[in-house]
Amino acid sequence: MRLSTSLIYSQGYDAIARQQNDLLHTQQQIAANKKLLTPSDDPVAAAQVQAQTQALDQAGMFTSNVSAAAAAQQQIDAFLQQVSDLLQRVRTLAVSAGSTTLSTSDRAAIATEVSGAAQDLLGIANTQDANGKYVFSGTSVDTQPFTATPGGATYNGDQGQQQVQVGPSRSVPVNVAGSALFEQAGTGNGVLTTRAAAGNTGSGVIGAGSVASPAALTGHTFRLQFGVAAGVTTYDVLDVTAGTTVSAGNAYVDGTAITVAGMQTTVKGAPATGDAFTLAPSKPQSLFTTLANLVSTLQTPAATPGASTQVANGVAAALQDIDQGVNNVLTLRAGAGAYMTELDALTSSLSSRTVQGQQTLSNLQDLDYNKALSDFARQQVALQAAQQSFTKVSGLSLFNYLQP
């Protein structure tokens, strides 16, 4: 085979260039601490790196969202605790106000304290966060949620909840709409409500009531209308919703259970002619209305006919409504606690996924220094050998073998 000079030079150059390229590539890997410098180094591994990087970025975003949601739930729980403490304080005041030994001025003083508590509650309801956004206005964060009125407060926000995505298909709320917290507490015992009419003049006090037969409940409002004739007290049962008389002339016995359409209650004392009491399904009532009603009750003038009985009925009604408010707060706190438990679990899961993903990514692209340095040394030797062999081969000539 004939080897031309151009072929020798060409092959020698190619061999040296390959060795230099390999050496340079290894040097770049060592400098970058990366096994994959370009996708062409390992197309399959490069695709896996891209997918794993995207998964880690997503996990990082969800981790940040989970942290924000957890902080928001903790803030919600703190506000709910404040509301609960305030209602418990008002309840204690209401219990004290129910004492028959208190004077009108004593009750007026308690009414002043309850009014102050109502202002504190309004302050909580109109709380703003560090960015000046209202916490309890739903999604209308720039709208002040509550405006004080003579009978309580009016809600100006909406019913929406702000959501934060904490997983590919999971979002959690990061606020509580003011309507849910301050306006959705039930009245009475949460199922039915018993009330004394505002103009009662006798000494009749109605009990809290209970459900005697759930199947017999109609959802209607009923009124017990009392009358006294010749020293005998009777009452009529009127269906206010239907506008009909259920029964008339029922004998009244102090403290005996009265059952109407599955609802049961008692009336103690001596109702006067014209006195009335209602039994109705429980309905949502604003906490501000509850406190305003209590204040109005405690400010009842002593000269009002049946004032002491009106105060007793009003305080009993307020205690029931406050208890429903506390129960509503506890329900919301239970929800916040459930979210915090879920977010704790998500934090742990995301942390594990991140660690695993980082390990996988490291296995795919991080450089094995020992192997890289060994390859670098080997490639240096190979390059030197190629250079030296090329020098020797290129120096060959027939003139070297001619004798003078």
CB 227 within 8 A of CB 233: yes
In sequence order, which residues have a C-beta less than 8 Å from that of residue 173 and are 6 or more positions away? 161, 162, 163, 164, 339
- Taking only the tens place, the pLDDT of each residue in 194-214 is 999 988 999 999 999 999 999
Q: For residue 24, what pLDDT band results from cuts at 50, 70 and 90?
A: low
Q: For residue 383, what pLDDT band results from cuts at 50, 70 and 90?
A: low
pLDDT of residue 55: 76
pLDDT of residue 351: 86
CB 164 within 8 A of CB 174: yes
Question: Among 65-74, 226-235, 369-378, which is the least confidently predicted range?
Answer: 369-378
Q: For residue 358, what pLDDT band results from cuts at 50, 70 and 90?
A: confident
- Which pair of structure tokens corresponds to residue 398? 């027939």
In sequence order, which residues have a C-beta less than 8 Å from that of residue 240 and are 6 or more positions away? 220, 221, 222, 223, 278
Read off the pLDDT of each residue in 57-66 and give the average, rounded to a whole number: 87
Read off the pLDDT of each residue in 366-370 and give the average, rounded to a whole number: 59
What is d(CA 368, CA 77) in angstroms, rounded to the nearest whole number? 50
Question: What domains can be seen in the chain, in order of their start residue?
Answer: 34-187+284-366 (1.20.1330.10), 194-282 (no CATH)
Nearest to 17 by CA among 382, 391, 392, 396: 382
CB 175 within 8 A of CB 129: no
Is the model's pLDDT at 99 over the cut of 80?
yes
Task: Reduce the DSSP state of residue 211 to 3 states and report it.
Answer: strand
Q: Exposed/middle/buried for 280, CB within 10 Å: 0-12, 13-18, 19+?
A: buried
Q: For residue 59, what pLDDT band results from cuts at 50, 70 and 90?
A: confident
Is the model's pLDDT at 257 over the cut of 80?
yes
- Total Cβ atoms within 10 A of residue 227: 17
Nearest to 379 by CA among 29, 30, 23: 23
pTM of the model: 0.79
Is the model's pLDDT at 397 over the cut of 70?
no
User: How far, in Å, are 140, 211, 242, 304, 327 from residue 186 at the CA level?
Assistant: 25, 16, 23, 29, 9
In sequence order, which residues have a C-beta less than 8 Å from that of residue 2 and are 6 or more positions away? none
Is the model's pLDDT at 298 over the cut of 90?
yes
140-174: b (≥16 Cβ within 10 Å) or e: bbeeebbeeeeebbebbbeeeeeebebeeeeebbb
Q: For residue 372, what pLDDT band results from cuts at 50, 70 and 90?
A: low
Is the model's pLDDT at 14 over the cut of 70?
no
Read off the pLDDT of each residue in 284-310 and give the average, rounded to a whole number: 92
What is d(CA 52, CA 177) in angstroms, rounded to the nearest whole number? 39
Q: Which helix (H) or strand (E) holds 206?
A: strand 205-206
Higher pLDDT, 87 or 376: 87
Question: Among 140-144, 216-220, 311-315, 363-367, which is the least confidently predicted range?
Answer: 363-367
pLDDT of residue 225: 97
Is the model's pLDDT at 229 over the cut of 90?
yes
Q: For residue 255, what pLDDT band results from cuts at 50, 70 and 90?
A: very high
Task: Reduce the DSSP state of residue 234 to 3 states and report it.
Answer: strand
What does DSSP say about strands 210-211 and 205-206: parallel, antiparallel, or unpaired? unpaired
pLDDT of residue 192: 94
Is the model's pLDDT at 263 over the cut of 70?
yes
- Over the chain, what is the mean pLDDT? 85
- Taking only the tens place, the pLDDT of each residue in 118-170 is 999 999 999 998 889 999 999 999 999 999 999 899 999 999 888 999 888 88
280 φ/ψ angles, rounded to the nearest 5 degrees: -145, 160
What is d(CA 27, CA 399) in angstroms, rounded to the nearest whole number? 42
- Taking only the tens place, the pLDDT of each residue in 314-335 is 999 999 999 999 999 999 999 9
DSSP assignment of 65-108 equals: HHHHHHHHHHHHHHHHHHHHHHHHHHHHHHHHHT-TT--HHHHH
